[in-house]
Structure 1
C-alpha cells in the first residue's frame, strides 16, 4: 500500500494536538484499559500520523507494529456498503430496490418490502436476527438462514441497529447479483483497487494470522481474557460482512481518504463524487436508534455528525458532515469532507460502549482541533 508521509505542519495540522492524542492512548495502555493500539491521521492524500502502541498479544508477548492487523468489527459495514455503491453505479442495483427482486425466497415471513436502503440504514425490521456459525462455511445453508429471518416490525417504521443481520442480507444480495462469493467481490471491487490487499482482509487468510492482534475482554485478576468470539479460527476466516474484517489503522485512514476525495484514490476511481455525497447524507434525521439510544444520523453505510448536541465518537466539535463508523468498544474511523481529514483508531480490548464513546469523543475532538487551515 502506498501513501506518502508528510509532517502535520505541512498539512495544516497542529502537531501538539496530535501528540496529545498519542499521550492519551499511551496513558490508557499504562492504566490497563487495553494492551495495544494503532492511530492514523491523514489529510489531502498524505499521512500525517501513524503510531503503534503497546502489545498486539500479551501471551506470547508481541508488540504492535505497522503491519499489525486489528479486528475492526462494525467498521466492516462501511467497506461492505462500498461494494453496494459500486453495483448501483454499474446500474445493476438501486437503493430503492426490494431484496426479494434478486433473492425471491427472501420474501418469506412478510419481508417482501425490505429495500437495500432499509438494510443500509438499519431500518429493515429484524435487528435481532442471527446467523449461526455453521452457516459461515456453507453457502446454501447461509442463504436459507438469511431468507428465514423473521421481522420484528415493519421495514421503515423504526430505527434499530442491526448488529450483523442486515449485512448478511447484503452479502446474499451481492452474491445473487454477481455470482461470486461476497468476500471475493468486496476484495475485487473495493479493497484491491485501493491498494489495500495487504492491509485489509474480509476473511483473514491463515498465512496472515500471525499479524493479527489478539482481541481481549477487560483485564480480570491480573490477566487478559481473550475475546471468546474473535479468538476462534472460524470467526477469522468467515469474513462476517457486518463485523469480521481485519485491517491496519493506516488502511482505514486510506479507505476514508478515498471518500473525502470524492471516491478516488491514487488515480483509481471506486465510485463517483455524487455517490459519496449521497451515501454520506443523513437519511434518518432525528430518529433515535432503539439499540444505541442515540440520534445516529445514518447514511447508506456510515453515519454522520449532524447538529445534535451529543454524538457517539465522531468528536463534539466535528463539522456536521463528518461521517464514519465505530467498532464495538474497540475502534472508530471517520472522515471530514470539509477539511480532507481522515482518522482511524484501532485497539484490542472490547470495552463497554459508554467508556469507549467518551474516549473516542476526546481523541476525535483533538484531531478536529488540530485543523488549523
Structure 2
C-alpha cells in the first residue's frame, strides 16, 4: 500500500515539474514592454504544430516593437530558426516591387498614368498599345499567365520578349486578374527602362533550388526576414529610429500608390473572387478589417505577409518555412495575434 501511494505521489510531482518547464521552441528575440503577449501567441503556433520555423516582427511609431524567431530551420530539427534566417516569401515580394516603382514615381522617372510605351516602346503591340503603368501595377494589363517552360523563367530577356509579343486576354484597363508571375517582369522591366544606371530590381533591392534564387522572378521569389519586411513597410510611411532614417516615400506618393485602382466589387478574373489593388499593393481593408481602413501590403503563398497600417503608424511581417495553403485570405496561423494587436492599438 505504501509503495502504491509513493508511486502516485511521484507521478504527481513529475507532472508538476513537466508542466512548469515548458518547451521554449527556440523562441528568441526582442520585445518592447507592452507587447509581451505576442510571444505567447507566437509560441502557440509551435505548440499547435502550425509552424516548423517562423519569424515575426513589427514596427510601431517608427521603432521596432518586437522581433521574434522560433522553431526549426529543417525538418530534422537540428538547426534553430532565428530572426536572421532568410526565408523565401513568394508573392510577399510583390510589395517590394510596388515600393520600388513608387520610388521611381516620386523621383519623376515614372508616371502611373502614362502609357507603358512611353518608357518601353516595344510593348505597344498586339492590343497592348494603350496599356498604362497603372494597368500593370494593379493587375489590369490582361497578361495574367504565361505558358513558357520554367527554364525560360530564368532568362529575363527571353521573358520580356515573350511578353512584348503576347496579346492581352482582355482590353487593358477594362478588368483585373491576378498576375501571379508576369507582374514582376512587367513592373521590373519598367524599372530597368527608367533607372539611370539600368539596374534590375535585384540590383536595386537587395522554389528552393539555388539557381531559382539567382533568377529574377520579382513577383514570387523574394528572400527576406520578417524584420526587413516590417522595417520596409514602416519606412514607406514614417521616419525610423527617432528620425535617424527618413521615410522612403512622401505622403502624397504613398497615398497615390495605395489608393484603390479596382472598381468596388469587381471580381478578379483569375482568382474568381473580389480583390482590391493599389499600385502593386494589396489593399487589406476587408481581410484585416480589425485595423481599420487604409491597410496596404502583400501576402505570399503559404502564409507569409507584410503590411502597414498608416493610421496607426504600425507595420507587421510574418514569414515561415511551413506552407499553409488552407486559407490564403484569413491567415489562420496569425489571426489570433493580429486580433490581439488590433485591440492593443485601438
The two structures have a TM-score, normalised by structure 1, of 0.77
Q: Does 1:328 align with 2:301?
A: yes
1:90 and 2:90 correspond = no
CA drift of 1:20 comes to 4.2
Partners of 1:263 and 1:276 within 8 A in 2: no
Larger Rg: 2
Q: CA deviation at 1:275?
A: 0.8
Pairing of 1:166-205 with structure 2 (within 5 A)? 166-178=183-195, 180-187=198-205, 201=206
Structure 2: distance between partners of 1:135 and 1:355: 28
- In the alignment, the residues of structure 2 paired with residue 184 and residue 243 of structure 1 have an alpha-carbon distance, to the nearest angstrom, of 12
Residue 223 of structure 1 corresponds to none
Q: CA deviation at 1:353?
A: 4.6
Match status 1:366 vs 2:340 = yes
The answer on whether the counterparts of 1:40 and 1:51 sit within 8 Å (CA) in structure 2 is yes
| Structure 2: gaps (5+ residues) | 1-28
Instruction: Provide the rounded CA distance (Å) in 2 between the counterparts of 1:76 and 1:125.
Output: 21
Q: Equivalent residue for 1:41?
A: 58
Structure 2 contact 155–215 (Cα < 8 Å) conserved: no
Whether the aligned pair in 1 keeps the contact of 2:62 and 2:239 (CA below 8 Å) is no
Aligned length: 314
- Give the direction of change, closer, same or farther, for the CA distance of 1:5–1:51 in structure 2 (3 Å limit): closer
Alignment match, 1:234: 211
Query: 2:138, 2:280 → 1: CA distance?
Result: 7
CA contact (8 A) 2:62 2:240 kept: no
Determine whether 1:287 maps to 2:260.
Answer: no
- Match for 1:340 among 298, 313, 323? 313
Q: Quick one: which of 18, 42, 48 aligns to 1:22?
A: 42
CA RMSD, aligned part only? 2.5
Q: Work out whether 1:7 is the aligned partner of 2:25.
A: no
SS at match of 2:72: strand
Deviation (angstroms), 1:44: 1.1
Instruction: Describe the shift of the 1:181–1:167 C-alpha distance in structure 2 as closer, same or farther (beyond 3 A).
Output: same
Residues 34-53 of structure 1, C-alpha deviation per residue, up to 9 Å, x if partnerless?
42111112201222221112
CA distance in 1, matches of 2:32, 2:156: 47
CA distance change for structure 1 residues 320 and 363 in 2, over 3 Å: closer, same or farther?
same
Distance 1:23 1:167, change over 3 A: same
Counterpart CA distance in 2 for 1:60 and 1:141 is: 40
CA distance 1:339–1:139, shift in 2 (3 Å): closer
Give the superposition deviation at 1:244.
Answer: 1.3
Partner residue in 1 for 2:254: 276
SS at match of 1:338: helix
Quick one: distance in 1 between partners of 2:273 and 2:336? 18
Unmatched runs of 5 consecutive residues or more in structure 1: 188-200, 202-229
- Report whether the alignment pairs 1:125 with 2:137: no
Q: Is the 8 A contact 1:330 1:350 kept in 2?
A: yes
Aligned-residue offset at 1:266: 3.7
Relative to structure 1, is the Cα distance of residues 235 and 104 closer, same or farther in structure 2, using a 3 angstrom cutoff? same
What SS does structure 2 have at the residue aligned with 1:288?
coil
